Chain A
């Protein structure tokens, strides 16, 4: 296993600028999730690392080796494609054993290894079948097996779960995480599903428009987003954003004052913040007119079973609030939105997070 490093990687397709100076370092043995909306360049970044696409400029390192100009086969990586890319005319066993066969591993060793990974992924009974005789989930496991049959410098996975149904995705999510921990493999896992990224990865790199927005452990991505994009992209329902401005005793949200302690208020003032960000679960419903709560009226109520999502129309816009499972309310009813200002974060005019929330892990900016 080895670390992986992108250094100023730029990739253009003709006039289209897909990666703009990507810098990314994945430490050895870490599971990195590359998260971003569709079309942001995740697959391109992975293909550049695999050697399937050449970067327009910049360098890629695997371990200490500059692999930028190497052929894919000389990079010592294993890749799971979004569409699995199994070899249609080979059996499952031949598919899994192909990377070994190419390297001239003797038959006996190959068989043993195929049996071993097939057992790990519970596809031992499928070894004689061909890919077209498999279900999506089984194909996915075969693709994984083909990747882990060797001990490469890094695993690359491109949305391997996106073709599976919701249930299977849930199970496979856990399985892949377990597998990668067990192999202690450097893994780059591309996904546009934030839940996958947060639950599986040691590190999450959020991309947008061909640029890296933030790379951090999942909890920090969630609690200390570097900017407005990360804040709203991660989290479901997304973080509430309301226009805000620093005032005398606190931050003004519309005509309401959100009281802040002096140091944070000073930081807000200095940064010239323009927006406040609040996670739905940090908000609660309150009686209308309760002091400190923002007044508004119910826009829509969505009971989820374990909780109720209440969308409230406030002065500066709508916010989602996570309420208890037995919340009852009618559309148009007056209501208050209460929250602890310590949980709020603030964005400046450039969309960067100027002041983070206070309480998580006791850290502050």
Chain B
């Protein structure tokens, strides 16, 4: 029948369009993602296998850039500084954030305001944070020095002293990113069921045992996710250090990101810098994967 055939044809056309439509609608976004994300990545990978002179590629050298990294004392030192920085900052942020989240879980007058105030550092632009901390740390006219002089002391050396500068950087990071930990952990705490906690109180547990036996074990997955997130992010810390110390004094605060930046833009060794960042990327990726696997095992057992 003519009518039936016509109807089937329309139906088929309709089905074809239905199938294609999602892809059509995804296409613009996908193109942008490919262009902005994948192409630079690919270009970076290619660059990491080339030798550069005065910022221009002068030939393929295979994996030599990668090999060279492991005998580069400056690289190894910056790696060590970064690991110290990440480990210290993230630990403090986790402990502080957890404590604050536990505290803010209770209901009392002004709690909403307190919660809001506590997340402000997170939303301030990192560069601005760094500038503010410069104003605090500066040995000539900084707030710390002013404070010390007001109490009869001398100038406070923060950014000029290797140990102090490093600690100062950690303090800055903790100040800025504890709120993120706090926020994630508070959300986690708020989503825990109420009854087991009441049951534990009736069963005879005091505040500490409730924390150790219930809160902490129940929060472990959330805590792990927060730590992994923060760790990955902390490995890429750049702007604060760049503004605060540029990696100095000496190499005391020279994180990988700063060293990579110097290699690429100061020393114009684009290929070597690319290899450095690819390596770090892989390290962070491996770290994240193993953390997530660990998490799964903890969760399943």
Contact = CB atoms under 8 A, between A and B. Distances in A.
Asked if A and B bind, the verdict is yes
Interface residues on B, range: 10 to 19
Contacts of B218: 88-89
B46 interface: no
B209 A87 contact: no
Instruction: State the 9 A-B residue pairs at the shortest beta-carbon distance, nearest first.
Output: A85-B195, A85-B199, A102-B204, A99-B203, A73-B204, A72-B201, A89-B217, A72-B202, A79-B202
B201 to A, nearest CB: 4
Contacts of B213: 87, 90, 98
Nearest to B221: A89
B201 A146 contact: no
Interface in A263-307: none
Interface string B188-228: 00000101101111111110010001100110000000000
Given A71-B201, A81-B198, A83-B193, 8 more contacts: A50-B198, A51-B201, A52-B202, A73-B206, A84-B195, A87-B199, A89-B218, A90-B213
Contacts of A146: 199, 203
Contacts of A328: none
Nearest to A76: B204
Contacts of A26: none
Chain B binding surface SS class: helix
Contacts of B203: 73, 78, 98-99, 102, 146
Contacts of B214: 87, 89
B205 A87 contact: no
A103 interface: yes
A52 B196 contact: no
Interface string A97-114: 011001100000000000
A146 B217 CA distance: 20
Nearest to B214: A87
A102 B212 CA distance: 12
A88 B196 contact: yes
B201 A52 contact: yes
Contact of A77 (B202, B205, B206, B217): B202
A85 B196 contact: yes
Interface in B214-257: 214, 217-218
Interface of B: 193, 195-196, 198-206, 209, 213-214, 217-218
Contacts of A72: 198, 201-202
B107 to A, nearest CB: 13
30 contacts: A52-B198, A52-B202, A72-B198, A72-B202, A73-B204, A73-B205, A77-B202, A78-B202, A81-B195, A84-B195, A85-B195, A85-B198, A85-B199, A86-B199, A87-B196, A87-B200, A87-B213, A88-B193, A88-B196, A98-B200, A98-B205, A98-B213, A99-B204, A102-B203, A102-B204, A102-B205, A102-B209, A103-B204, A146-B199, A146-B203
A13 to B, nearest CB: 13
A98 B198 CA distance: 13
A199 B90 CA distance: 59
Name, among A50, A51, A87, A99, the residue most crowded by chain B CB atoms within 10 Å (CB to CB).
A87
Contacts of B204: 73, 99, 102-103
B297 to A, nearest CB: 14
A50 B197 CA distance: 13
A77 B203 CA distance: 8
B47 to A, nearest CB: 48
B222 to A, nearest CB: 13
Contacts of A90: 213
Nearest to A75: B202
